[in-house]
Amino acid sequence: MDKRTLLAIVLSLAVLLTYQMFFVKHPPPRQVPAGTDTVSEAFVQQTAPQKITVAKRPVARQHLPAKDIKVETPLYTAVFSTKGASLKSFKLKNYQQDCVKCADDIYPVIKKIFFGSKDNEKPKSDEPVELVSIAEEMPYPLSVTFSESSLDVPASAMFEADVASLDLQNAKEKKRLVFSGIYEGAIKVEKTFIFDPEKYSIELDVKMYNLTGAPLVQIPKLSWHQSIDPHKDFGRYDKEGPVISEAGSIERLEVKKLDKEKIIGPNVLWGGFESKYFIASFIPENPSLTSSVVNRGVDNLVSVAITGQKEIIPAGQSAVVGYSLYLGPKEHNMLKEMGVGLERAIDFGIFKWLAIPFLMFLNFLYSFVQNYGIAIIVMTILIKAVFWPLGNISYKSMKEMQKVQPQINELKKKYKNDQSKIGQETMALYRAHKINPLSGCLPILIQLPVFIGLFNALLYAIELRHSPLFFWIQDLSAKDPYYITPVLMGISQFIQQKMTPTMGDPMMAKMMMFMPVVLTIFFLNFPSGLVIYWLFNNILSIGQQFYINKKLAN
């Protein structure tokens, strides 16, 4: 009896299993709609802290050597690598590197001036400016990683490109380069670069596909890595290092002082790595939810990263984040076209409201004279003409004050123990001779913001870089290689000082005679464009003083 019961049970189970396997249709798995962008809060809480563990699937291409993808446009030559789908080189065709040895010997220049020799060195080399500086074993710029996410993708992950190269030199429309890679069989990352043949800006879309059966929480981080020379001595007005725009406020970080990781944000509008005349920057699609991380490694690798918002990707679905890139010169109009205040990467100082119009006016003059040195001279003359009446008032006032200076000295001796009495009698003397003491210095104070604005415009204008005047001055953004213009400026400053009416303490007047020497030393390493402006301003001032002195003498 027991044997028959056991046999019946076994046969019944066999019939049930056979029926389930071959005759019952299983319902399809529930699919999440493709357009779903939001997920419930409970779903977020369940998925956010979890790291997804996936059995690693070896992919053959991970062991293949990285390939280079060359992108050629009229403005630049870019080389991308399948390692990290990142940037290996970015050379600007219209800008050349500074020559390492350009003016060590004066004789080739003299030969060129007088004998037409062609063998003198130029202020620039034949090599285009390179924005990328990185060692082969280090991560390349524009890599995208996913730290603090369900699945991270290292900067060294291998990708496949959809083309072997791109040529946009004669293109009229945009072209794209697509990298795709699957990491551990769990996530597919697709990076699409869109190039415009007429611009330095590049569009970048990063698409993430969830290949698992569980939701993924991914936080993309776009990075720019730059290798720096720790022994390089940056000048006071040189700028090289990370630059971040947080809610419109510009923060520059000095490379030498970067001893630990620094987090900036949220609401980072853009970030990047800059030099005095060039910038490599990236702009997130949604700045209000982004932050920036700046770090300097022990191997002198500086990293600037934009960390994006949290992307929750359901099983079988995808998410996309977008960026705009600008890799090129700090040309004001080009930067302004980006629409996020990228033009503020040019440090025009507190008087930028004057510096920018001066730069625009300088470019306007250049369109006629086709020489920025001549344009600077013309602009100096026009500015002097505008302030000519104020200069006349100042010089006349100083001349009148010089006439009453002996009487003021007598008052100081008479009331040497009563400073208030000296002040009262001095003001009475000024009223008697109808002299306004403010009219001597007020015109100079009014012109001071103009000078500072013009100073910054000429100091940081990329238009002056490698732009010649004539003869030995072949780069208005570099110092005079033979210090001729600074010395001439010092001489003109001395002549102007001698012609200026002396007032006040005689000892102070003697000390002021050293001012030309101090200014000459100060201007020795200034860009020659600035020195030329100051030199011609002094020459015009000497002419104006000579005119006033002659007029008052008659």
Please give the pLDDT value at position 54: 43
Distance CA 306, CA 293 (A): 7
Please give the pLDDT value at position 118: 41
Report if residue 437 sits inside a domain.
yes
- The enclosing H or E element of 324 equals strand 318-329
* 372 and 330 within one domain: no
Structural domain of residue 527, as residue ranges?
Answer: 352-553
The residues, ordered by sequence, that sit 6+ positions from 317 with a Cβ below 8 Å of its Cβ are: 32, 34, 36, 209, 210
Phi-psi group of 228: left, alpha or beta (phi > 0 → left; psi -120 to 50 → alpha; rest → beta): beta
Quick one: tokens of 262?
A: 């620094």
Report if residue 295 sits inside a domain.
yes
Distance CA 498, CA 68 (A): 66
Please give the pLDDT value at position 161: 93
Beta bridge partners of 190: 180, 207
Q: What is the pTM of this model?
A: 0.78
* 430 and 510 within one domain: yes
Question: Kind of pairing, strands 165-167 and 68-72?
Answer: parallel
* 323 and 177 within one domain: yes
Strands (DSSP E) found in 109-219: 124-130, 143-145, 160-161, 165-167, 175-183, 187-195, 201-210, 216-218
Do 103 and 109 touch, CB atoms closer than 8 A? yes
Please give the pLDDT value at position 343: 92
Report if residue 60 sits inside a domain.
no
pLDDT in tens, the chain (554 residues): 445 555 555 555 555 555 455 554 444 433 433 333 333 333 333 344 344 444 344 343 445 688 999 999 999 999 999 999 999 999 999 998 876 544 444 434 444 443 344 433 445 667 899 999 887 778 899 999 988 888 888 888 899 999 999 999 988 899 999 999 998 889 999 999 999 999 999 999 999 999 988 998 999 999 998 888 766 666 566 778 889 998 878 888 877 777 777 888 788 899 999 998 999 999 998 876 677 777 776 667 888 888 888 889 999 899 999 999 999 999 999 999 998 899 999 988 888 888 899 899 999 999 999 999 899 999 999 988 888 887 777 777 777 776 777 777 777 777 777 777 777 777 777 777 777 666 656 666 777 788 888 888 888 889 888 888 888 888 888 888 888 989 998 898 888 877 766 655 566 666 667 778 888 888 888 888 889 988 998 898 888 888 877 776 66
Question: Kind of pairing, strands 278-284 and 291-296?
Answer: unpaired
| Number of structural domains found in the chain | 2
Report if residue 97 sits inside a domain.
no
Rounded to 5°, angle at Cα 236 from 232 and 239: 70
Distance CA 391, CA 372 (A): 26
* 369 and 335 within one domain: no
Distance CA 64, CA 159 (A): 10
The residues, ordered by sequence, that sit 6+ positions from 379 with a Cβ below 8 Å of its Cβ are: 358, 361, 362, 365, 533
* 535 and 458 within one domain: yes
Max Cα-Cα span within the chain: 147
- Dihedrals φ, ψ of 510, to 5°? -70, -40
Question: Kind of pairing, strands 76-81 and 68-72?
Answer: antiparallel
DSSP string, 491-528: HHHHHHHHHSPP-S-HHHHHHHTTHHHHHHHHHTTS-H
Do 230 and 152 touch, CB atoms closer than 8 A? no
Report if residue 79 sits inside a domain.
no
DSSP string, 421-460: HHHHHHHHHHHHTT--THHHHHHHHHHHHHHHHHHHHHHH
- Tell which of 345, 371, 395 closes a domain: 345
Please give the pLDDT value at position 90: 96
Distance CA 171, CA 453 (A): 40
* 422 and 358 within one domain: yes
* 392 and 487 within one domain: yes
Looking at residue 517, its amino acid is V
Please give the pLDDT value at position 519: 82
Residue 132 to residues 69, 91, 201, 236, 547, Cα–Cα distance (Å): 15, 8, 16, 23, 56
C-beta atoms surrounding 181 within 10 Å? 21
Instruction: Identify the three-state secondary structure at position 270.
Output: strand
- Tell which of 345, 369, 403 closes a domain: 345
DSSP string, 368-408: HHS-HHHHHHHHHHHHHHHTHHHHHHHHHHHHHHHHTHHHH
Do 391 and 549 touch, CB atoms closer than 8 A? no
Q: What is the CATH number of the domain that holds 182?
A: 2.70.98.90
- The enclosing H or E element of 333 equals helix 332-336
Do 524 and 516 touch, CB atoms closer than 8 A? no
The residues, ordered by sequence, that sit 6+ positions from 409 with a Cβ below 8 Å of its Cβ are: none
Report if residue 380 sits inside a domain.
yes
Please give the pLDDT value at position 541: 85
Distance CA 433, CA 421 (A): 18
Looking at residue 265, its amino acid is G
* 288 and 361 within one domain: no
* 543 and 406 within one domain: yes
Rounded-to-10 torsion of CA 327, 328, 332, 335 = -20
* 341 and 375 within one domain: no
Report if residue 22 sits inside a domain.
no
Instruction: Identify the three-state secondary structure at position 498.
Output: helix
* 323 and 382 within one domain: no
Distance CA 301, CA 313 (A): 33
Report if residue 20 sits inside a domain.
no
- Tell which of 304, 319, 345 closes a domain: 345
Residue pointed to by tokens 């101090």:
518
Residue 474 to residues 99, 471, 478, 525, Cα–Cα distance (Å): 12, 7, 9, 15
